[in-house]
Structure 1
Amino acid sequence: MFIFASASKARLDLLNSIGIFPEKIVQTNIDETIFRNEHPVDYVTRVALEKNKNVEKADGDLVLSADTIISVGRRILTKPTDPQQARQFLDLMSGRRHKVMTSICVFSKGKYYQKVIKTTLKMKRLSVLEKERYLLSNEWQGKAGGYAIQGRAAYFFPFVSGSYTNIVGLPLTETIGLLVGLGYKLSSQTPKGNS
């Protein structure tokens, strides 16, 4: 059985857009506390692995999990908890480069396989009005770093280097490569109920 361990609608939509329909979707509940002095790559790798380990598995199951963060230098930005924190994140990134990092983790045949994908972006210098307008949209909620590039923040980024789908939440090229390499069979069929 192919299990997707994620509550992210954006990630599921990305998979579905290329014809991958998990047989089961599981929302995991883990402690995502950042350890003192934890490096961004170590953090995102640990969290993706913990999400995967949190899923009940049977022999033959293939389980995909992922975690996405923003890193400004060594500072880790996860999902803001309130508008004030979202504003702090925008202030920190405004006019600067940052990285979006996603760790994908696949469980197959008793082993965990992981890969971290990094995309570099530069956010334009945002005016106070642009920040306020964005915060009022509430689009920052549930998004690593407090923005969604596929939404109202699309024009914030004059420079992007790397995987666009990584920024949305799941680097598709690398995810498919890992899944297929571990035996997942791509199909041209749609799930039951879809035409």
Structure 2
Amino acid sequence: MKFETLPRLILGSRSPQRRQLLLQLIPEDRILIDPPADCSEEQLDQVYEFPQIEKKLRQIARLKNEQVSQQSSFQQGDLLLTADTVIVCRNSLKDFRVLGQPPQDHWEQAVRDWFTLHYSGRTHWAVSAVCFRNQQGRLFEVTVTSSIRMRHLTEAEIEDYLRTRESQGKAGGYAIQGLASSFVSQIQGSLSNIIGLPMDEVRLLLQNSLNI
């Protein structure tokens, strides 16, 4: 199903993956890309409980939505969609750890550690929060979690992947739609959520908020 007659929708994101996913639902001429002018994001490295991680993500997606709604491109009657996605791994028997984009100054070592300690032979989770603003300014929110299990990886496989530089700028340091797909042994839940935008939930948000 494609929403051919929607009002203009602003996608408040720099992610080319989110744009490509959204094009499955909305014609290109109805989408305007306008990410938040303030690109700094709240850090989640001190949040260790899953419900709190989800709550923080919703707050971040909502804050992005508020920021974009105050920018010059936003006009009354526009639709506005913002989202945030992180990778979550188990840090201990009780605690969880959030992995965002790898740090630019030492991304290789960070991603190497993530694959070795948290991905190889283990299950981790992709969590996305989506915030949608309808024409009347009402906000609709949803949080979606998918699980990913990777097979056991050799040191050589990890080093080969690092050399592709695909990790840079990716939540969790890899792209499941890219070369890292060969590492995945099982997925439970939404694949598009792992890429960055849970499309079934976005479709329902559009239908419910616009009474389609």
TM-score band by shorter chain is 0.7 to 0.9
2:192 counterpart residue number: 165
The answer to which structure has the higher helix fraction is: 2
Give the match for residue 32 of structure 2.
24
Give the structure 1 partner of residue 87 of structure 2. Answer: 70
Alpha-carbon RMSD across the aligned residues, in angstroms, is 1.8
Structure 2 unaligned segments of length 5 or more: list them: 1-7, 91-95
Question: 1:78-114: per-residue Cα shift (whole Å, max 9, x none)?
Answer: 0112111111221222111111111111012222211
Q: Is the 8 A contact 2:44 2:53 kept in 1?
A: no
Q: CA–CA distance in 2 between the matches of 1:80 and 1:32?
A: 15
- Equivalent positions of 1:1-195 (< 5 A) are 1-21=8-28, 22-28=30-36, 29-34=39-44, 36-37=46-47, 39-55=52-68, 56=70, 57-73=74-90, 74-81=96-103, 82-91=107-116, 92-108=118-134, 109-183=136-210
Contact 1:70–1:100 (Cα < 8 Å) also in 2: yes
Q: Tell me what 2:3 maps to.
A: none
- Once the two structures are superposed, residues 144-191 of structure 1 have per-residue CA deviations (whole angstroms, 9 ceiling, x without a partner) of 111111111111111101111111111111111101211187xxxxxx
Amino acid at match of 2:85: T
CA deviation after TM superposition for structure 1 residue 43, in Å:
2.4
Name the CA distance, whole Å, in 2 between partners of 1:23 and 1:173.
18
* % identical equivalent positions: 33
Unpaired segments of 5 or more residues in structure 1?
A: 186-195
Q: Is the 8 A contact 1:30 1:50 kept in 2?
A: no
Query: How many residues end up aligned between the 2 structures?
Result: 185
